[in-house]
Amino acid sequence: MSNFSILGTPFEIAGVTIKNRYAFSPVTTATMWDEKGNITPRFIRYMEERAKGGFGLLVTGALTTDTAVDPYAATGAAFMQNPEAFKETSKQMLDAVHAHGAKMFAQLTLGLGRNYPGLPSTSENVVFGTADQLSPELTTEQIKTKIKELVEAAAFVKECGWDGIEVHAMHWGYLLDQFAMKCFNRRTDEYGGSWENMLRAAREIVEGIKEVNGKDYPVGMRFSLETYVKDANQGLLTAEGEQGRTLEESIMCAKMLESYGYDYLSVDTGVYDSFWYACSPMYIPQSFMFDMAAKCTAAVNIPVICGGRMNDAAACADALAEGKFTAITLGRPGIADPEYPNKAIAGEIEKIRPCIACNAGCFKSVCMDLKPMTCAVNAAAANEIELDLKPADGEKKVLVVGGGVAGMEAARTAAMRGYEVTLIEKSGKLGGHIIEAGAHSFKKEIQQLNSWYQRELKELGVNVVLNKEITAEALKSCPADAIIIATGSVTAMPPIPGIEKAITALDAINNPDKLGNNIVIAGGGLVGCEIGYDEVLKGKNVTVVELMDDIMAAGAAAPLPNIMMIKAEFAARNVRVMTKTKVTQFCDDGIIVQKEDGTEEKIEADTMINALGFRPAPVSADLPNACVIGDATGAANILKAVAEGYRAANSI
């Protein structure tokens, strides 16, 4: 049995004591600054909640220090524009964090380089996500200017009372990482060629910080142990063919970084071009970083803080006991449950609200939708002030109709506020469509989420009534003060000849033994592609047919790391993907499709799957005290369902 108490033991970074083995990873929220350069109350509360929840060390997202070279600052732009505002609001945040015994480091970036259009890189490199757009090459003088400004910012950070600095970053393929990757550093000056030259910028940064802040002031490096990249926009599923930085080269670099004066390494893996490792979706197994981190730990004499799918607390406790790393850094799991450390240290694993590694509220909201961060399973994440749980408004009875994730979240929230809650579900079990979502081999966290909700409802005293379908007439005479309708969705059946010959996506997921060896999936959205991925992992032959220009793009497009990995896996496993292709008929032995050029083709298969979407289940009650949420309002995902469930119940 795991010894969870080890998670609560302290460790030191350059003489600074961190109270336990949990760090909160640097994550960009898009809410840190206001227009005057103040750290916002919203961001302060977000960090305070994580400190209160038990994180021993908290690190900000990347703060831009360069005001002279880059044409724009892609992150933390307000940091050096109004230093007095930063200093004053830093004190407010640090006081809030320190009150809970936590330490806080500022993450300072040299820049983002080719990861974003228009920013200079180590060499003239193709910009991520583009075919031929090039980033300009930094001059030697520009590099020195960037380093000088970062060091000056570090001195100011110490003056503001921060406990330490994390340098951003030899990870995720950001600018400092581009210096240390063979495929992106083709320089012939003092910053290219040998590994000593490729790491020169990293060396000059830490030496400069130590000179202005003193040798005892903590400075760490965010550091990828394997980049998984062949070239620009060519990520790798395995380390074979690595042209960025291999694990062995990274271990060598780790020793060099220690010799330069870095006090800890916060390790993960991957770059933008291999986003499935950098911001791993659920398709990447938990704890995959353990062995890589162990090799780094064995090679250096400074703390190694390990990140990347570290949300199995029992496995992490065991790995800590084995000495595979010094501490754990959690990003998404700490967004999902701010109290993760306190619960894990106490061994109350079943109480942790599980992160499902969907990337929908954290990565996609900020990086793709350009909106503030949220979380699929924690509607209040990064918005704790506005969405704080309200006390009950008197004694009220609340009826929730539908036991899917939207209904369970609504029932849980209403009960937490102190209301008397009844939840009615027409089937014999709770979960709705997350039962099917959690049935895939790579989605055990969604099963855990369903179990977590059911334990929460039981503990909160929610009256759960199963195998009962309530009519609209019954709702009208219901004595409830508030009714929340979360009746979900059913499979869409578009008027395509022979569609009844196909099995539905839900049936395919629930009954995988029904599926033959040659499978054609009509619909290349997230549901269809994940069915295809699960089946191709079993060795099946899979064809995916999609009407749109691309797969996983219908409705609310899937997060980029998820899309990139599915596409890479499909290519590696010879899945046939037909886009801009219309299904015109389902046959007994396959489907007939019409391609973009108007030609038809019959795709033979022994199993046809209808993954053409869902439609809301009928909702006929028109009541002044009722609201409709989740799939019942239209196609939804877990993010939308949980958000609507929380907001509906919190507004009663």
Q: Which residues are catalytic?
A: 174
Q: What is the CA radius of gyration of the chain?
A: 26
Q: What tokens does 384 get? A: 């704790």
Strands (E) across 425-540 are located at 463-465, 482-485, 489-491, 503-504, 518-522
Whole-number Å distance between alpha carbons of 415 and 466 = 18
Whole-number Å distance between alpha carbons of 517 and 281 = 27
Q: What tokens does 85 get? A: 């505002």
Q: What tokens does 593 get? A: 């499709």
Angle between helices 405-416 and 638-650 (to 10 degrees): 30
Whole-number Å distance between alpha carbons of 350 and 456 = 10
| CA-angle at 470, arms to 468 and 471, nearest 5° | 145
CB atoms within 10 A of CB 481: 16
Q: Is the dihedral of CA 351, 355, 360, 364 positive or negative?
A: positive
Rounded to whole angstroms, what are the CA distances from 79 to 40, 157, 336, 360?
Answer: 12, 10, 27, 27
Could you tell me whether strands 541-545 and 576-578 are parallel, antiparallel, or unpaired per DSSP bridges?
Answer: parallel
Q: Which residue is listed with tokens 């109004």? A: 82
Beta partners for residue 283, in sequence order? none
Whole-number Å distance between alpha carbons of 118 and 521 = 40
Whole-number Å distance between alpha carbons of 79 and 63 = 6
Whole-number Å distance between alpha carbons of 367 and 116 = 11
Q: Is the dihedral of CA 566, 572, 575, 577 positive or negative?
A: positive
User: How many helices and strands in the chain, by DSSP H and E?
Assistant: 20, 29
Rounded to whole angstroms, what are the CA distances from 453 to 191, 465, 484, 608, 645?
Answer: 53, 15, 17, 34, 13
**561 phi and psi angles, rounded to 5 deg:** -60, -35
DSSP 8-state secondary structure symbol assigned to residue 115: G
Could you tell me whether strands 489-491 and 327-330 are parallel, antiparallel, or unpaired per DSSP bridges?
Answer: unpaired
